[in-house]
A and B are shown apart, each in its own frame.
Chain A
Amino acid sequence: MIGKEDFQALAAAAHFDLTEEEQETFTKKLQEIVKYMEKSLALDLDQEESFAFVHDKKNVLREDEVEPSFSQETVLANSPLSEAGQFLVPRII
C-alpha cells in the first residue's frame, strides 16, 4: 500500500505541489493500478532477458563533423527569461 509519506516523496521527486484532494485521488488510482499489476509482477522472470527497445541493439553513429547549429538567439527565443546570452534562473545554491 502507498502511505501518505510515500506519496509525498513521489510528488517531491516529480516536482509537483499537490492539493489534498489530488493526493487522495492519485493515491487511490495508483493503488488500483498497482493492484491490477500484481498478477503479472508475481511471475518468475529471472531467466528472461530485458531490452529497452524492440529492434536489434546497435549504435547509431555519424561522422564527427561540424554541422550548422542554432544561433544563441534562436535557442533563447523560447526562454521565459534570459540575459547576456544565457538562460536566467533564480538562485540555485
Chain B
Amino acid sequence: MEIFSSTAHELQQSIKDGELSVTEVVQGYINRIEAIEDQIGSFLLFMPEEALAKAQALDEQIAQGKEIGLLTGIPVGLKDNISTQGIKTTSGSKMLADYIPPYSATVAEKLGEGDTIMLGKLNMDELALGSTGEKSAFFPAKNPWDLDRVPGGSSSGSAAAVAAGQLPLALGTDTGGSIRQPAALCGLVGLKPTYGLVSRYGVVPCANSLDHIGPIARNVRDCALLLQAIAGHDPRDGTSLDEPVPNYQEALVGDVKGLKIGVPQEYFGPGVDSAIKTSIQDALKKLEEQGAVVEEMSLAQTDHVLTAYYILMSTEVSSNMARLDGTRYGYRDLTGEDVETMFIRSRTAGLGPEVKFRSLLGHFVSGPGGRQAFYEKGLKLRQLIIQDFHRALAHYDLLVTPTSSQVAWERKAVADNKGENYLRDFSTVGANLAGLPALSLPCGLVDGLPAGLQLIGRPLAETTIFKVAYTLEQMLKFPQELAKLEVK
C-alpha cells in the first residue's frame, strides 16, 4: 500500500512500531503532492524542505527514546486563514498576499506541540466567503473525484488535499458549513465542533459568533484524533469553554442501541437531490437494525434559518472586513492623497467581489434608514432557532439531515450574479447559529460522486456524534477511492 493511501492512525501505528520513519511518511506525501498538485490546486504554500527537516529531527528524537504521541510525525495542512508565526497567511486574498503573522493560532501551536508535520497552507475561498473554492483570489482548488467539479468551500483546499491523498489530515474553518460541505462533496469526514470547544485565537475572523475551527479527515477515527489534538480551553479566546475534553477515541465503538435519532422533515424538501435522500434513508435503516430509534420529526423554525444567518453573518463580516484598509498590514494603494482615498483604493483593488458584496449586505442590514431593525430581528430569529434545536435535542440524542442538497457540481455552473448560490448553505447553517456540534459523514455515491449526511448533536456531545458516525461508517463501507486520480 502506498503511504499516501494510509489513514493517520495507521501511519501513527507504523511509526510507533518502527515500520516507517517520520521522514519516510513525510517524503511519501511530498511525492504525492508534487505528482498531482498541478491538477488539484489545494496548496497556497507548500513547505517540503521545512517539513523534511522537522521529520529528520523527530526521527532522531524518536531514536533517542522520545515518546510517540497521538499525532507524532503525521503530516497536516492548515487552511490559510489560520495564523502561522513567520509563515505567510493569505486567507485566500490578494489583500493579505504578503501578510506574515507575528504569532501563531492556538490550534497551530497545539499541532506543533503534538509533533505533527505541517506540509503547507491550504487554498480557500477569499476570507472564507464562498462555498465552491472558486472565490480564491489565487486559483481554484478542484474536486479530486472529478476535476471538472468544485470541491466545495470555503475550506476547499483542506478537503481537496485530504481527498486526493496529499495529506491525511487538515484543519478547516466553518462559519456556515465551510468544513462540512466540502467534506461531503469530497467524500470525507468533517466536523464543526461545539462553539467554544476549539479556540479560534489566531484565525482570521469571518463572523465571530459563527466561526469554528475543525478537522477534515478520511474517516471518523482520524477526525476524532485531530479534534483531540486541538480541543480545550484557551484563555486567549474569550468564547473558549472551560470544560474538560473527553477521550474521543473511547467513543469509537459500534453501539447505537437505544439512541434516539430525529430526522427533521424540513431538511428533506424538494430542493434536495432524491438520490441523496435515498442514500440517507438507507443509512438510517442500518442504524435502526443496530437498535437505534429513528423517528421523523419537525424543526418548525427551519424556514428562518437562512434569513437569520445572512443578517448576522454579513453584519459581522462587514465589521471584520473593515479592518482590511491597508493601514497596518495588507495591500495598500499608494496613489491617494488623503487617508479616505487610500482606504477606498486599497480595499477596491485588494478585495474580491464576494467580500465586497457581503460587506455591502452587512452594511445594508445593519445600517441607517431603520434597517438596524433587521439586525435586531436577526438576533431574535437566532433565538427561535436555538430554542427549536434545544427542544428537539431534549428529546432526541441526535438529528440527521443531508449535508449538501446536491453532490459536487460543475465548476462555473452557477453564475456570480445569482442569489442561488446562497441558498445551497441551507442544511449546514443551523448548527452554526445554535453553536451545536455537527459532523458530515460520507453515506454513498450518487452518479459516482460522494453524498454526505449530517449528524447534529447536543452541545459538547461530540462523543455521541463520533459513536454514531463510527457505527455507520463500519456498516456503510464508503469507497475511499484515492487511486481514482490518475497521475499525469
A-B CB contacts (within 8 Å), total count: 156
**Contact at A55–B196, with CB atoms within 8 Å?**
yes
Q: Tell yes or no: A4 within 8 A of B by CB.
A: no
Point out the residue from B239, B332, B340, B417 that lies within 8 Å of A81, measured CB to CB: B332
A 70-91 to B, binary, CB cutoff 8 A, 1 in contact else 0:
1000110111110000010111
Grouping DSSP codes into helix (H, G, I), strand (E, B) and loop, the B interface class, with mixed when no group exceeds half, is helix
A33 partner residues in chain B, CB cutoff 8 A: 310, 361, 419, 422
**Contact at A32–B100, with CB atoms within 8 Å?**
no
**Contact at B416–A25, with CB atoms within 8 Å?**
yes
Known: A43-B304, A51-B383, A60-B238. A30 touches B364 (CB 8 A): yes
Min CB distance B381 to A, Å, is 6
Q: Tell yes or no: B31 within 8 A of A by CB.
A: no
Distance, CA A92 to CA B310, complexed state (A)? 34
- Chain B CB within 10 Å — which of A14, A91, A92 has the most? A14
Q: Tell yes or no: B360 within 8 A of A by CB.
A: yes
**Contact at A79–B328, with CB atoms within 8 Å?**
yes
Min CB distance A76 to B, Å, is 8
Distance, CA A57 to CA B76, complexed state (A)? 35
Distance, CA A81 to CA B100, complexed state (A)? 15
| Size bracket, chain A contacts | 35 or more
Known: A26-B360, A91-B337. A36 touches B306 (CB 8 A): yes
Known: A22-B353, A41-B307, A87-B328. A13 touches B195 (CB 8 A): no
Point out the residue from A15, A37, A53 that lies within 8 Å of B239, measured CB to CB: A53
**Contact at A51–B379, with CB atoms within 8 Å?**
yes
**Contact at B337–A49, with CB atoms within 8 Å?**
no
Min CB distance B313 to A, Å, is 11
A54 partner residues in chain B, CB cutoff 8 A: 195, 209, 386, 433-435
Point out the residue from A18, A39, A49, A89 that lies within 8 Å of B339, measured CB to CB: A89
Min CB distance B235 to A, Å, is 6
Distance, CA A80 to CA B382, complexed state (A)? 40
Q: Tell yes or no: A52 within 8 A of B by CB.
A: yes
Min CB distance B389 to A, Å, is 10
Known: A10-B360, A33-B310. A87 touches B380 (CB 8 A): no
Point out the residue from B102, B103, B356, B383 that lies within 8 Å of A14, measured CB to CB: B356
- Chain B residues in contact with chain A, CB under 8 A? 98-100, 102-103, 195-196, 209, 235, 238-239, 241, 303-304, 306-308, 310-311, 318, 322, 325-332, 334, 336-345, 347-348, 351, 353, 356-357, 359-361, 363-364, 367, 369, 374, 376-377, 379-384, 386, 416-419, 422-423, 433-435
Given contacts A36-B419, A40-B303, A80-B332, 9 further A-B contacts (CB under 8 A): A15-B340, A15-B347, A18-B348, A34-B364, A45-B381, A55-B241, A70-B103, A78-B98, A80-B327
Question: Across chains A and B, which 5 residue pairs bring their CB atoms closest together, nearest first?
Answer: A54-B435, A50-B379, A32-B419, A78-B329, A80-B332
